[in-house]
Structure 1
């Protein structure tokens, strides 16, 4: 979850000595503890695919219909294919560097390539990326929890109820559930919840497809919202025609949202370490299958979400159903699944962010309860503040996608390969690395510039 980040919590510590000091052919199994053991127990191909898909898919899927509405069907398909292909290629570069250096962590690759600054850059990017992911999850809690409670509780009157305040509910859930779980020193018992993320995404896509036929277009007039107010739709027959290409200032959010949705690079090497008979070719096949299946689910949910609401789709797709299907059973179950997954995933995502922060600030000093608690409270405080004060989830997807996601997805793999590769700069992968870095920089700068311009204009 740009994904749920479940892959980050694979037990890579089982193989502390994964550090072969020589190059090897990609057909040779990965060495663990410097002993070649092709029959060593490890994760199967299928389980590795699910692990990586869990790391890929997350809250980004809720914003892709909005991205399609602002790029057009054909424009969205081209961009989604481009970003997913570049994501798979950048993983190919990371795996190739892993083969050459024997390094099995993203931070250590940064240190190998750019010394201490490289490790600091990667660490800061991981912290910011995870904070952005946690903020998107808490934003979903803020926006979805009031509607979920409203659908489960039949109010006696149409007046205001305290549970309609999403910010208040968010603070209560963070203090009573998220913070205690995040303070646990070992939180591996929560990792099983991430195994349900793929099935939740599959169910989400199925519901989006089914509900396409439950909401007519033009959208109905005088629809009562959960808050009791009336919303007049301005949809007309002309707005029920899909647009192939759309270009506007809001289109700047599209590629960053896609980059946010396909980021799984911090989980790649831990999954590689767990893979049974790990070879570069085998892990690349895991990557291609995982990204391919994620691409299909992303495309289906975005397409049918867009074809349901067209230009009126919300930046957080589930909110679009509140007006027209306020008490629909399938929508309620999807919303509850999202809220459960979000609540239990935030502590998991907080772990690597806290680990990277402590590593950068305090180095490899022994475990300290005071530092552990202080780092947890500060990180969750920043995340909670962002979720409360950020007015739209597209801002989280846009800013994080244009900065840290672009770096971890495009820029860093290309730069590290150019720095560590011993081959000529005229090789295919070297040229590809240059193009990857250029694309990452251009995408980040252009998207972030348009996002800032949109903020200024709206203010």
Structure 2
């Protein structure tokens, strides 16, 4: 079977597929890939912890922006778009794993190298670095904005002058004390337990969003100094819209793409999975994406049904405005902030790996280099989090550019280039659709976002 499958390029260490494996062979690993996976995983991460790690890579600040997207697309429009993005994300992972099996490549960057040589590797690595830096900075932006407010709600009196209510000070302390040490861990599997904690925080958040839907009246009111000011008298504002389109709808697909992007973590998690196989890793992916879809949809739906057209671009701000000093809301704020915080170290891994592969791929592992690159990434994301004014800008630009490349464009393009199947085969046709969809969505969304900025 080894002879019929392909041959090894000894100079580069690549396993070149001479033909597509038959249906029954699809789950078997090529010898080089099997050795690589066994070398990297010791003793291996369980199925459950791998699901938690992947869900933690998927779910983060995106959960806070989807209610705003539902308000600008309508319930049915949002449902269709979210389901489409989730299915395409799962299918693109399927293509990545298929290429991984065929080529014995264990990183996204090497797939780019295998398909288009050094320029392909540089483009993929650069895209991963930009995307992950954008994602991490968006998470830290939420920490900077919401963490001081969450602490202040537990206090009474005027504490504005205290250091622990300054967002930038708290951000630096958290990054130095929590994010940086966790990001320094040598393997992504070590974060499985923090990822499971993050998942339960997200579930608690979704539950509270459901419960608090009946605690905020519609039309919305604000309470200041025991006086009630009504925001809107229109009862139509309290009717959910099934379909709705506005200039803000341009942020829909980019934000969803951003919210389901886990592709940079797929292969590192695959390499550390117990009993790794394509089928087992695909099951991990499908489980993680399905659970993430469920939590996303529930949070977005009940968040929208709470605030309707007045929903904030970052959902927590609405609860701070209309339910100040609510104990449950204050508690869930801290939980979701910790969940978002615990996602940042996980995303450090593919970002650091991309930097390593772009500049130091021929060098042996060095703890000094590992430390310095992690430190540099930490400094960059902290600076971005300090000076980016609106999380929607991060979602829109990063989602429309790098996220669409990593979810749709690159998997489709690489599969068309590397696969030896007939072009009319279903897989190649699916890869072509994925590629075209990514190009259209990315360019159209980015153009609308830039146009929106110009008008403002």
TM-score band (shorter)?
0.7 to 0.9
- How far apart, in 2, do the equivalents of 1:47 and 1:27 lie? 25
Partner of 1:219: 220
CA separation of 1:231/1:385 partners in 2, compared to 1, >3 Å: closer, same or farther? farther
Partner of 1:167: 168
Deviation at residue 363 of structure 1 after TM alignment: 3.3
Deviation at residue 182 of structure 1 after TM alignment: 4.7
Aligned to 2:153, what secondary structure does the other structure show?
helix
Partner of 1:152: 154
Mapping of residues 171-320 of structure 1, within 5 Å: 171-175=172-176, 177-179=178-180, 182=183, 191-223=192-224, 233-234=231-232, 236-320=234-318
Deviation at residue 337 of structure 1 after TM alignment: 1.6
Aligned to 1:411, what secondary structure does the other structure show?
helix
Partner of 1:106: 108
Task: Please say if residues 18 and 34 of structure 1, whose CA atoms lie closer than 8 Å, have aligned partners that are also in contact.
Answer: no
Task: Please say if residues 27 and 279 of structure 1, whose CA atoms lie closer than 8 Å, have aligned partners that are also in contact.
Answer: no
Mapping of residues 26-425 of structure 1, within 5 Å: 26=25, 28-30=27-29, 32-33=34-35, 43-155=45-157, 157=158, 163-175=164-176, 177-179=178-180, 182=183, 191-223=192-224, 233-234=231-232, 236-367=234-365, 371-425=369-423
CA separation of 1:297/1:142 partners in 2, compared to 1, >3 Å: closer, same or farther? same
- How far apart, in 2, do the equivalents of 1:151 and 1:247 lie? 36
Question: TM-score normalized by structure 2?
Answer: 0.86
Deviation at residue 129 of structure 1 after TM alignment: 1.5
Report the more deviating stretch, 343-352 or 180-189. Answer: 180-189
- Tell me the C-alpha RMSD between the 2 structures: 3.1
- How far apart, in 2, do the equivalents of 1:266 and 1:187 lie? 12
CA separation of 1:28/1:177 partners in 2, compared to 1, >3 Å: closer, same or farther? closer
Aligned to 1:152, what secondary structure does the other structure show?
coil
Q: Can you list the C-alpha shifts for 1:104-152, whole angstroms capped at 9, x where unaligned?
A: 2211111111111111111111111110111111111111112111112
Report the more deviating stretch, 232-241 or 164-173. Answer: 164-173
- How far apart, in 2, do the equivalents of 1:439 and 1:101 lie? 25
Partner of 2:4: none
Question: TM-score normalized by structure 1?
Answer: 0.85
Deviation at residue 348 of structure 1 after TM alignment: 3.6
Q: Which ranges of structure 2 fall in alignment gaps of 5 or more residues?
A: 1-12
